[in-house]
Structure 1
């Protein structure tokens, strides 16, 4: 069985109809992992083979079936999974084996998925490049000498190489979008509140990050989104949402899509990326949509200042328990912690006012356009031994994450966004685009993505490490 050519929907249908057993699927999954994971280091903390095969046999014998019954899934290593080492890529938690699942892991398990291990992530999920001192670096399957992106890099690579059919991820600053783009798969950042996070700590203030699904098609994205979304009574800002599957792939006639490019030059971008993305927009035009260039709708520096203030405030809050052990944190984590601790309440307030101004402007834009598009990254995948890009086209990057500024318009106001593959550049490396809309337009964005996928089938055309 070639798992890289088989959709999650097809696997689940075969499992449900008895044409495939969970035991057979687990055997094929473990064989595929043994074949390719050594080259890319995407799946970590893989559980004992005998234990996993026993779980698969138990799934075959079980009468009750959830929507993911018998499907092997590796969970991002920022999520606590009962009985599996959950390290966050940090030596501090190298030997941490939780006794209880986090909410998203519990939902996956309740849906019938078999949790086989973890997918690799940067330390504490900081940075769009997947490496850490616990497991090392995850490599791009299209060029193992290059980065796979992050922080859901292990998830994207596991999908691209056919080691899993579905993967979870999380996204504060492009972590579901950048790795999807660099590995020729789909990543979806849902409307903020659709997928509740762990109900602990502050439940009101930090509205930046969200959990979400990744897959090799929008249809498969929808399958996983329906499992992990929906309100949790312990989360006051989680929201009710209708199932998105089956996706309704309707005509694009009359739809207007806005292309924001490099935000009028505000986002330095490596050569070839804008052309690669803008050329792909012709697919939407061929499907009946109108695609128009959109001038910069908001001051980019105001957005950036707001973003790095709210992000540092958020990250510092999460790292506060380690504040007296800063020596164990990597330099970028120390930077975020120090910035966050130094912020005043009124500086945070001013950043949120800017965020509010941008939200009001975005509402006006979506009165004109059904969706907007940006590149999913400003650079092509860079060398795997490079921590982060220091410059783009001669423009110096003044922080470790400035090179991902292109994702902040979406992240800052919690918009839904589908990262769609945009084909391959001259060097054979993948790129992608962010297709985003107003809050609550998740189903419509996935339907747009499904129409695009029906024409392009990018993940199926170039399976990595086939």
Structure 2
């Protein structure tokens, strides 16, 4: 198999080819770097790319581990030793961490060769990957459009076949939206499955998690197993991931646009319904669901807990006048809003979250289904969309409201490809399981992948 053909294959196939001696790790690295040179300028997905000679030398030494010799670019929110980790912020544009984050350390221990970073919005805020350090990441299926975010660089790099496997993180759809917009799979695990030491405050602050992205389900689960090792420093750690689940007929609740609460661009619901018909064809029952909870209550809880969390994390930069001037307006808005909240408001938000959690556990379906986004990829020059289907968006993230039912209560949610819109850009659908049922929803994803062939439709930038 030609090395260029191998880059179009799964990570599992690339690793198998190296183990069999069909290709060496340096040969795979050379082909990877050539492809990045050919394609990355069009989409700006991979940033902080490391020196070619150093990467070739490192590839020659990576002989052991489940990812032995695999080129890997880490999302630019994860601290990576001696590789610039900017968090998309000019505050950290020259920051070279002295040590790897736990996840990156696990990747290296598994034999991956870290080639650089994948682009992200400033501090991961917003589902559009642009920042003043590296610029905007573009969609490989239409380079005039956004690749989503905050794992937009990861999704774009996967779609362009520059990497075969990618990490991401998800607070408000950041593993799901870019997966859907780049025609790949993205998985937000149950909160605690991928622990990575976690936040210092670990009860109210359960909104964000790391997770995997890939073009193939077997690759996604390969990375999840590495990411989910048990972490004794995290009280909610529930790893490692176990995949021994047999797919049985499931009852899938289709929530559509949540009874009209979530404005949708034309064509999205129809694509998702096509994906649901595929699930019916392979033996599952799909039932239309009435809205199970107030969308406005969920939003009120979400923006309170999110602003509170962002303010706690970024407040130190806001309180420094020199650094505050380097923050984007959306970050300042979140921080100021979070710092103005009363304890009672945070408690009320947690009460709503608790009520929604109780409601999900009582549902009579195995899986909830929703689109991964409320619109197709928008122009890359925008900061964020101001309206959908004639409805004004009142915050920089309101257009992604459809992802919060899973995020708010830490439910496992898999983004699966469902096809392409009128302008040729991809769309995805969320399959959301009960807390802790990660293996169940991933088994459903494997069955869906076998019944579809969306991944074979490569982007125009190739």
- TM-score band w.r.t. shorter chain: over 0.9
Distance 2:259 2:272 in 1: 15
Contact 1:4/1:160 (<8 A) preserved: no
Farther off after superposition, 349-358 or 20-29:
20-29
Distance 1:329 1:92 in 2: 8
Q: Deviations over 1:365-389 (max 9, x none)?
A: 1xx2121100000011000011111
Does residue 441 of the first structure (1) align with residue 444 of the second (2)?
A: no
**Residues 350 and 422 from structure 1, CA distance in 2 versus in 1: closer, same or farther, beyond 3 angstroms?**
same
Farther off after superposition, 170-179 or 193-202:
193-202
The Cα of 1:364 is off from its aligned counterpart by 1.0
How many residues are paired up?
A: 456
Structure 1 residue aligned with 2:259: 264
Structure 2 residue aligned with 1:342: 340
Distance 2:370 2:224 in 1: 23
**Residues 199 and 395 from structure 1, CA distance in 2 versus in 1: closer, same or farther, beyond 3 angstroms?**
closer
Report the secondary structure of 1:360's partner residue: helix
Structure 2 residue aligned with 1:397: 393
Contact 2:302/2:404 (<8 A) preserved: yes
The aligned runs of 1:115-154 (5 Å cut-off) are 115-154=114-153
Structure 1 residue aligned with 2:176: 177
Structure 1 residue aligned with 2:299: 304
The aligned runs of 1:241-390 (5 Å cut-off) are 241-244=240-243, 250=247, 252=248, 254-324=249-319, 325=321, 326-365=324-363, 368-390=364-386
Q: Deviations over 1:259-302 (max 9, x none)?
A: 10000000011111111111221100100111110010000000
| Structure 2 residue ranges without an equivalent (≥5) | none
The Cα of 1:33 is off from its aligned counterpart by 0.4
**Residues 143 and 3 from structure 1, CA distance in 2 versus in 1: closer, same or farther, beyond 3 angstroms?**
farther
Distance 1:185 1:105 in 2: 22
Structure 2 residue aligned with 1:5: 8
The Cα of 1:20 is off from its aligned counterpart by 2.1
Farther off after superposition, 2-11 or 224-233:
2-11
| Structure 1 residue ranges without an equivalent (≥5) | none
Does residue 32 of the first structure (1) align with residue 41 of the second (2)?
A: no
Report the secondary structure of 1:372's partner residue: strand
Distance 2:82 2:277 in 1: 48
Distance 1:4 1:315 in 2: 38
Report the secondary structure of 2:325's partner residue: helix
Farther off after superposition, 46-55 or 190-199:
190-199
Distance 1:264 1:197 in 2: 37
**How high is the TM-score relative to the length of structure 1?**
0.96
Report the secondary structure of 1:433's partner residue: strand
The aligned runs of 1:64-213 (5 Å cut-off) are 65-199=64-198, 201-213=200-212
**Residues 453 and 249 from structure 1, CA distance in 2 versus in 1: closer, same or farther, beyond 3 angstroms?**
farther
Q: CA RMSD in A?
A: 1.3
**Residues 396 and 200 from structure 1, CA distance in 2 versus in 1: closer, same or farther, beyond 3 angstroms?**
closer
**How high is the TM-score relative to the length of structure 2?**
0.96
Distance 2:419 2:202 in 1: 39
Structure 2 residue aligned with 1:421: 417
Contact 1:84/1:98 (<8 A) preserved: yes
Distance 2:271 2:294 in 1: 25
Contact 1:5/1:460 (<8 A) preserved: no
The Cα of 1:249 is off from its aligned counterpart by 5.9
Q: Deviations over 1:323-346 (max 9, x none)?
A: 223221100000000000001111
Structure 2 residue aligned with 1:219: 218
